Amino acid sequence: MKHVFGPVSSRRLGQSLGVDVLPPKSCTWNCLYCQLGRTRECVTERREFFPREEILEEIRQAIGNPHAIDWITFVGSGETTLYKGLGWLIGETKKITDIPVAVITNGSLLSVEEVRQELLHADAVLPSLNAGSPELFMRIDRPAAGFSYERHVEGLVEFRNVYRGKLWIEVMLIDGLNDSVEALQDIAGALEKIRPDTVHLVLPTRPSGDADVRLPSDEAVARARLVLSRVAKVVHPAKGSMSLRDPGDIIETVASITRRHPLQEHELRHALDELLPDEPGRVGRIIEQLLESGRFKTVTLPDNEVYWVPARES
Ligand code: SF4
């Protein structure tokens, strides 16, 4: 399995070299909004799913290529901290490069001392907090048995107490679920205890397959910014875009991105236009070749946005 992908343009981390340390899909939660589809069976035991040296070697090779990389980002096809060698990988990566290291996580295992210790040397940790009450937490994040809301918040608080890097909490705002004044005040109450450096407000712009997951209104986004900014600086990143830097391996690059999340067709076209500014005809041919490869299919949502997903997905 190829673990390293990108660099891709990330909403929060600029040019981010992704490192996926998990087999899909391995997660402690089964979020309503998950872009990876349903968690068929939650995974709760940490394991070294792949040899750590194999992953480190891929990172070493990737940073040897002449690409601009702002962050090396550990992100799993599921919950990243389920990978047992994560602390070792962070430490070894920092020995071979000065590029800062980030970890994207749902934060569910921060209640475990070993996991908190392993993340201490990351430059930024980005856990999730989507609810301010046990009821909404169960409804939105649908965790494995034993992963209660109280345990989640306590883990985040305990981590904050020992972590000196950047703690950026991600709040996924979902229409009709956590975007009311009351729900947002509850989230703000939990954030007050956690004391993050910033809160990243994100929206379910990618298809999850669940009809209950709808984009919040502009008014709800403004409300969330207002309520949560009483506790921490709120960043509402612009919609992401991808970038392609190597025309030689476009099929593999697109495959590595769509394996992790559906790709908006306009993002793909924009990235190809940027890569081949003097060859507009070639962009159309590449799109055709990608479709003819049989590895992708397109899905059109009710708002007419077209997404690319792996052909095997339903
Ligand atoms: S924590 Fe992330 S990977 Fe796991 S179910 Fe939720 S959105 Fe999906």
Q: Half-sphere exposure of 18 toward its Cβ, with a 13 Å CA cutoff?
A: 22
Q: Evaluate if residue 283 carries a pLDDT over 90.
A: no
What's the mean pLDDT in 200-229? 86
Comparing 55 with 285, the larger pLDDT belongs to 55
Is the pLDDT assigned to residue 247 strictly greater than 60? no
Q: Is the pLDDT of residue 11 over 70?
A: no
Query: pLDDT tens digit string along 116-128?
Result: 999 999 999 999 9
**44 pLDDT above the threshold of 50:** yes
**CA-based end-to-end distance of the chain:** 22
Tell me which residue has tokens 């712009």.
205
Atom of ligand 1 nearest to the CA of 141: 6
b/e code 94-124 from CB counts within 10 Å (16+ = b): beebebbbbbbbbbbbbbeeebbebbeebeb
Q: Is the pLDDT of residue 224 over 90?
A: yes
Pocket of ligand 1 (CB under 6 A): 27, 29-31, 34, 36, 39, 78-79, 106
**pLDDT the model gives residue 259:** 76
Q: Considering the chain, what percentage of its residues have pLDDT values greater than 90?
A: 60
pLDDT of 237: 62
Q: How many residues does the chain have?
A: 314
Q: How many Å lie between the centroid of ligand 1 and the Cα of residue 27? A: 6
Residue with CA nearest ligand 1 atom 3: 78
Q: Does 4-235 match 247-310 in CATH topology?
A: no
Centroid of ligand 1 to alpha carbon of 289 (angstroms): 32
Q: How far is the CA of 111 from the centre of ligand 1 (A)?
A: 17
Fold of 247-310: Arc Repressor Mutant, subunit A (1.10.10)
Using pLDDT thresholds of 50, 70 and 90, give the confidence band for residue 240: very low
Per-residue pLDDT at 239 exceeds 60: no
Cα of 34 to ligand 1 centre, how many Å? 5
Which residue, by CA, sits nearest to atom 7 of ligand 1?
Answer: 34
User: Is 238's pLDDT higher than 60?
Assistant: no
Who's near 72: CB < 8 A, 6+ residues apart? Answer: 16, 17, 19, 59, 63, 93, 97, 99, 100, 101, 102
If one compares 46 and 76, the residue with the highest pLDDT of the two is 46
Protein residue with its CA nearest to atom 8 in ligand 1: 34
Ligand 1 mean position, distance from CA 220 (Å): 23
CATH class of segment(s) 4-235:
alpha beta
Phi, psi of 166 (to 5 degrees): -85, 125
Span 162-167, average pLDDT: 98
The whole-number pLDDT of residue 266 equals 81
Q: Using DSSP, state whether 62 is helix, strand or coil.
A: helix
pLDDT greater than 70 at residue 66 = no
d(CA 208, CA 265): 16
Of 74-78, 156-160, 282-286, which range is least confident? Answer: 282-286
The answer to whether 25 and 39 are in contact (CB under 8 A) is yes
| Domain regions of the chain by residue span | 4-235, 247-310
The pLDDT of residue 243: 58
**123 neighbors 114 (Cβ within 8 angstroms):** no
| Interval between CA 74 and ligand 1 midpoint (Å) | 14
**CA–centroid distance, residue 279 to ligand 1 (Å):** 39
Distance, in Å, from the CA atom of 71 to the CA atom of 200, rounded to the nearest integer, reads 17
> Checking DSSP bridges between strand 4-10 and strand 14-19, what pairing results, if any?
antiparallel
Alpha helices in the chain (DSSP H): 52-64, 86-96, 113-119, 134-141, 149-162, 181-194, 218-228, 250-260, 265-275, 280-292
Which atom of ligand 1 sits closest to the CA of residue 25?
3
Confidence label for 69 from pLDDT (cuts 50, 70 and 90): very high
Mean pLDDT of 223-232: 92
Q: Which residues contact 52 (CB under 8 A, 6 or more apart)?
A: 85, 88, 89, 92
Residue nearest to atom 6 of ligand 1 (CA): 31
Index of the ligand 1 atom closest to the CA of residue 27: 4
Kindly state the average pLDDT of the residues 296-308.
78
